[in-house]
Amino acid sequence: MYKILFIIGLSLSMLVCHAQQTGTEKDILKLMEVNGSAANYDLAFEQIVSQFKMMKPNVPQLTWDMAKREVFDKEIIELNKKLIPIYQKNFAPADIK
């Protein structure tokens, strides 16, 4: 009986910890947006595309738009997910908010 209660209690505590982590992750993503990281990613993409356009002037704009939407934007999401643990390690939750 005690084992079952212990397992249930442990499971519930893990759910609470996960919910707190999700809140911190949202705060970190908001911080990245506020500090200009998202804008810098977009600026970098535009600079890369302008270089490619000089090399390949016949590629239609629709192709570049699709590349941003289908590749770049998805990879930025993955990059942000990988940066979250770094922010968590180096900043206190109060610093992030």
Total domains, the chain: 1
Residue 5: inside a domain, yes or no?
Answer: no
Residues 6+ apart with CB under 8 A from 53: 59, 64
Residue 71 domain boundaries: 24-96
Asked if residues 71 and 7 have their Cβ atoms less than 8 Å apart, the reply is no
Please check whether residue 60 lies inside any domain of the structure: yes
Please name which of 28, 46, 40 lies closest in space to residue 97, comparing C-alpha atoms.
28
Rounded Cα–Cα distance for residues 96 and 87 (Å): 8
Q: What gap in Å lies between CA 75 and CA 19, rounded to an integer?
A: 25
User: Residue 38: which pLDDT band, with cuts at 50, 70 and 90?
Assistant: confident
| Angle at alpha carbon of residue 27, lines to 24 and 30, rounded to 5° | 155
Residue 10 inside a domain? The answer is no
Report the alpha-carbon distance of residue 27 to residue 85 in Å, rounded. 12
Going by pLDDT thresholds of 50, 70 and 90, the confidence category of residue 94 is confident
Average pLDDT over residues 18-23: 58
Selected residue with higher pLDDT from 11 and 76:
76
pLDDT at site 4:
53
